[in-house]
Amino acid sequence: MTVRDDLRARVEALRPAVEAVARAIHADPETADEEHRAVARLIELFAGHGFDIDPGPGDPTAFVARSGSGGTTVAVCLEFDALPEIGHACGHNLISGAGALAAIALAERADDLGLTVLAVGCPAEERGGGKIPLIADGVFADVDLAIMIHTVPDGIRLDPRGTSSQAIGQFVATYTGQAAHAAAAPHLGRNTTDAVVIAEVALALLRQQVPSDHRLSANVVRSGSVPNVIPDHATIEFECRAWTIDEYEALRVRVFRCLEAGALATDCGLSIEPVGRPYQPLRQNDLLGGLWCDALVELGLDPAAGVPLAGGSTDMGNVSQVVPSLHPWVRLPGVTASLHSADYAAAAGTDVAYDVMTQAAIAMAWTVAAATGPQQVGLLRARRQELPGSSS
């Protein structure tokens, strides 16, 4: 039996236990930094397969499960947070399930492959950047390669080489004004809802004047409560995205000015605070990307079919700035619903989705196994030296 045949058999044998955990995570969604039950389920799974557990490095819903003592270290990143109200509309139950399948299967061959396997539980990908404090805490300091998958709707190209994700910053803007009776003394008020309207109009106009691949969006969280009181408090949550750090920073400055215009025109105060941590663009490692495509072809998939993913952001981008990384896409057949929609959340809990999860785990395990040869490890370590955030 070849290494690939053995890894495939191990993944398929592990599927019932891991799928049960992934289904439980899907049925019991928890939002960023609140994923306590998901983490407990995953830790129990890894501990049951002999992994040593380091709970909560830098975050109470983070963990590192370690197995093996080989000279090549792989970090398999697991995500498990859901979106408010619509649940697992980004398929993080499938990300954690595929990662667990691949990590456990690789750990069972760790001695033969010369591997140390880290299953890294990464909280708050949707909002907060849970991988970023893990980087600061040194979780990836001795890692030779990092890998995870992400499901997408049907029709997306599966070859990750040359793809990226957008840098993103998220913020909350708070306007403060002066309350007054809306009929008896409106002239004494400073209306924060007016400030919001002006800012939203300015943002809408700005969209016409920025490159078509830039993204900016805003959501009014609060702006008054009753019509007969001039509102003295309003809050907007907003974000901006671009494909490079320089483009992102230029866009951020212009977005801030739109918000400042609302404050200036209405004589309201304005404070802007970051939410979480900025995400950096994703650097896909070409060597790992080629090995991934080889695995897909052997599984009967065409990695080139489809169109590139149009946008989106991930804190795996920050990991990819410090260690050679791969964050490829896997399609859910027949699913046309957009990511971050209720329909996609439903699709992520189907039998077909768990078939895809298992297939992705096989491809991940094959990719990592193929990267453990001396030549490949040497190339990965050389690439790490060239990464902007590497401390090597």
- Chain center to CA of 137: 19
CA gap 1, 82 in Å, rounded: 39
**Residues 70 and 127 both lie in one domain:** yes
**Residues 265 and 296 both lie in one domain:** no
**Residues 131 and 209 both lie in one domain:** no
pLDDT at 120: 98
390 has pLDDT over 90 = no
**Residues 20 and 119 both lie in one domain:** yes
**Residues 156 and 292 both lie in one domain:** yes
CA gap 59, 80 in Å, rounded: 14
**Residues 144 and 117 both lie in one domain:** yes
Strand order in the sheet with 233-242: 215-223, 233-242, 167-176, 269-279
> Domain range holding 10?
3-165+282-386
Which amino acid, 211? P
Residue 222 maps to which CATH number? 3.30.70.360
- Please list the alpha-helical segments (H only) found in 243-349: 245-266, 286-298, 316-320, 342-347
Mean model confidence pLDDT for the chain: 95
- Which of these three, 278, 301, 323, is where a domain ends? 278
Helix (H) or strand (E) holding 106: helix 92-108
Residue 148 lies in a domain: yes
3-class secondary structure for 206-270? Answer: HHHHCCCCCEEEEEEEEECCCCCEECCEEEEEEEEEECCHHHHHHHHHHHHHHHHHHHHHHCCEE
- Which of these three, 222, 248, 278, is where a domain ends? 278
392 has pLDDT over 90 = no
**Residues 335 and 376 both lie in one domain:** yes
CA dihedral 370, 330, 33, 143 (to 10 degrees): 10
What are 158-188's pLDDT values in tens digits?
Answer: 999 999 999 999 999 999 999 999 999 999 9
What are 61-100's pLDDT values in tens digits?
Answer: 999 999 999 999 999 999 999 999 999 999 999 999 999 9
**Domains identified in the chain, total number:** 2
Residue 392 lies in a domain: no
**Residues 64 and 127 both lie in one domain:** yes
Distant-in-sequence, close-in-space partners of 205: CB < 8 Å, separation ≥ 6: none
Q: Is 274 helix (H, G, I), strand (E, B) or coil?
A: strand
Two tokens at 205? 């106009």
152 has pLDDT over 70 = yes
**Residues 238 and 332 both lie in one domain:** no
**Residues 101 and 216 both lie in one domain:** no
Residue 348 maps to which CATH number? 3.40.630.10
Question: What Å distances lie between residue 345 and 84, 182, 272, CA to CA?
Answer: 12, 43, 32
Q: Which of 92, 98, 95 is nearest to 32 (CA)?
A: 92
Q: Is 190 helix (H, G, I), strand (E, B) or coil?
A: strand
pLDDT at 384: 93
Cβ atoms of residues 158 and 233 within 8 Å? no
Q: Is 160 helix (H, G, I), strand (E, B) or coil?
A: coil
Residue 32 lies in a domain: yes
Instruction: Find where tokens 């993204």 sit.
Output: 215
What secondary structure letter does DSSP report for 282?
A: P
Q: Is 82 helix (H, G, I), strand (E, B) or coil?
A: strand
Q: How confident is the model at residue 228 (pLDDT cuts 50, 70, 90)?
A: very high
Q: What percent of the chain has pLDDT over 90?
A: 92
Distant-in-sequence, close-in-space partners of 20: CB < 8 Å, separation ≥ 6: none
391 has pLDDT over 70 = no
What are 297-350's pLDDT values in tens digits?
Answer: 999 999 998 898 888 999 999 999 999 999 999 999 999 999 999 999 999 999
Determine the straight-line distance between the first and last CA of the chain, rounded to whole angstroms.
Answer: 38
Q: What percent of the chain has pLDDT over 70?
A: 99
- Which of these three, 278, 298, 329, is where a domain ends? 278
Cβ density class 318-340: b for 16+ within 10 Å, e for less: bbbbbbbbbbbbbbbeebebebe
Residue 391 lies in a domain: no
Residue 43 lies in a domain: yes
Cβ atoms of residues 242 and 235 within 8 Å? no
What are 235-293's pLDDT values in tens digits?
Answer: 999 999 999 999 999 999 999 999 999 999 999 999 999 988 899 999 999 999 999 99
**Residues 246 and 115 both lie in one domain:** no
**Residues 262 and 382 both lie in one domain:** no
Distant-in-sequence, close-in-space partners of 67: CB < 8 Å, separation ≥ 6: 49, 50, 51, 52, 103, 107, 110, 116, 117
57 has pLDDT over 90 = no
Lowest mean pLDDT among 53-57, 204-208, 276-280, 322-326: 53-57
